[in-house]
Amino acid sequence: MITVNGRKISWIENETVRDLLKRMRYTFPNIVVKIDNELVKRKDYDNTLISDGAEIKMIHMISGG
């Protein structure tokens, strides 16, 4: 199991951050991803694997004026 934004979901072996974003249907253009409080750079989404038990925060950045 992994935790995404406080919600427990199943862990999938060899799932990347990009895969998880697709699975969660997060298509926001500006999103910040942290795994176990470590920031994941956007350029690393395709090669950063999610480990079993990870705590993930996906934060949608909203611009305003």
Dist. CA 1–CA 42, nearest whole Å: 23
SS3 30: coil
Dist. CA 61–CA 14, nearest whole Å: 27
Note whether 33 and 57 are within 8 A (CB).
yes
Domain map (residue ranges) of the chain: 2-60
pLDDT digits (tens, 9 = 90+) for 5-60: 999 999 999 999 999 999 999 888 889 999 999 999 999 999 999 999 999 999 98
Domain 2-60 has CATH 3.10.20.30: yes
The structure's pTM equals 0.88
What phi, psi does 37 have (nearest 5°)? 65, 15
